[in-house]
Chain A
């Protein structure tokens, strides 16, 4: 739903990308978030299988 660009990424110098989001107060269900780096596979990589992660935001 949104996308941003990391301007520079050094070897073994991780970059923390922060995103703030609001959730509807009436929402009671947990929300699953997915993050994907280089979703369109524009960069040829050594390992293409470690580019995504997911986490569940628990509303309780």
Chain B
């Protein structure tokens, strides 16, 4: 280890705050140590030794910019991009991809203090190509689908709300969303239809609902929503157009678990099992297993 180590400190200074402070210090003729190097960056919220390729697309027909799309997902650093369009539908990018690792090093200053830090270590660089198909892609967000009430009774009015998202690069308008009781491509019956009349730009989302009275028979039931059910819009991926929600489900619960001593070494344990869900009517019989740790 070098006892006379005096680190060169690189400061990444934000254009909007710390760089202004450094500039002011210079104007006031204040001095900072000679081993400091300042690098001005637009924002220190994004300073990284790694990188990925992002793109923003413009839909000329709707005069709409989309949201930033991430095109690579890897721990390497991408640089020196050469993008071009091919066939009007394909973005082709040729770029360098460099392996970047970090190495833990320790250094001691002249004052005797030891510092440990990770130093980026650049590895091999290779030439890569990327092809990204540009087009429309409407989807429904599965995690955002919700029913009101959450677990309705059979025969109760329920509102099924879904979120349609434009995950493609083309804007769309007058987008139909259909709701089905049962599997749409099978025996499912359409129970409602609504239209997103606004322009849905790339990256944008819109919530849409349908109200429906749950049947008293055939519970639990599966309700589906499908965006663009008649395939009117060009769509890169069809498997993200549909969401399902199960309604009128049962809800089994152990309400309480208690014990009492019957005799010296004899104990009685009582488990109270409750069904507070909606799926089972009084006359319904269903076997429920119940497990104990020791019998």
Contact = CB atoms under 8 A, between A and B. Distances in A.
Contact of A11 (B150, B273, B275, B287): B275
Contact of B292 (A7, A11, A33): A33
Interface string B140-156: 00000000001100000
Contacts of B267: 20-23, 57
A48 B258 CA distance: 21
A12 B276 contact: yes
Contacts of A57: 259, 267, 269
B139 to A, nearest CB: 25
A34 B293 CA distance: 6
B31 interface: no
B245 to A, nearest CB: 11
A4 to B, nearest CB: 5
A20 to B, nearest CB: 5
Interface in A24-51: 24-25, 31-40, 42-47, 50-51
Interface of B: 150-151, 220, 246, 249-259, 262, 264-278, 280-282, 284-295
Question: Which 9 pairs across A and B sit closest by C-beta, in order of nearness?
Answer: A2-B295, A53-B254, A53-B257, A50-B253, A46-B249, A35-B271, A46-B251, A6-B288, A46-B151
